[in-house]
């Protein structure tokens, strides 16, 4: 059994950013498809801006996002800092604020998750 925490920090502006989020979603989907694995997909920092985009049914990565949406969470502090807090709240995706308003990376490591960043 594998445990992976995939953290998306990539912004939404460049072609490279799009590649990073596509790879993060693919990696999360691979773990999610294995019933013995545990996966957490966390959008943090500038990556929080992806959630409103991926919620849009017309987005190229929408279907891929939907495949892992139940395993998705967003940094509460950063969603506010990057101006997407209302859109993220409207999406119903879990907001994390365990450590000073942010997801607790330490807790993930302590729980045995391999942290992978994109």
Sole residue written with tokens 């596509």: 22
Using only C-alpha atoms, the chain has a radius of gyration, in whole angstroms, of 13
3-117 CATH pick, 3.40.1260.10, 3.30.565.10, 3.40.50.2300, 3.40.50.300: 3.40.1260.10
pTM over 0.95: yes
**Rounded CA separation 40/80 (Å):** 21
Mean pLDDT (10-residue bins), the chain, 118 residues: 97 98 98 97 98 98 98 98 97 97 98 98
For the chain, give every domain's residue range.
Answer: 3-117
- Residue 7: Cβ-neighbour burial (10 angstroms; 0-12, 13-18, 19+): buried
């Amino acid at each position: 059994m594998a445990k992976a925490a995939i953290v998306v920090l990539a912004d939404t502006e460049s072609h490279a950013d799009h590649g990073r989020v596509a790879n993060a979603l693919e990696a999360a989907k691979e773990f999610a498809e294995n019933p013995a694995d545990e996966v957490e997909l966390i959008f943090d920092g500038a990556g929080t801006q992806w959630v409103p985009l991926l919620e849009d049914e017309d987005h190229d990565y929408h279907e891929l996002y939907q495949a892992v949406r139940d395993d998705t969470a967003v940094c509460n502090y950063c969603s506010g800092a990057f101006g997407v807090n209302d859109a993220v709240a409207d999406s119903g995706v879990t907001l994390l604020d365990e450590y000073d308003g942010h997801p607790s990376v330490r807790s993930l490591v302590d729980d045995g998750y391999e942290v992978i960043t994109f």
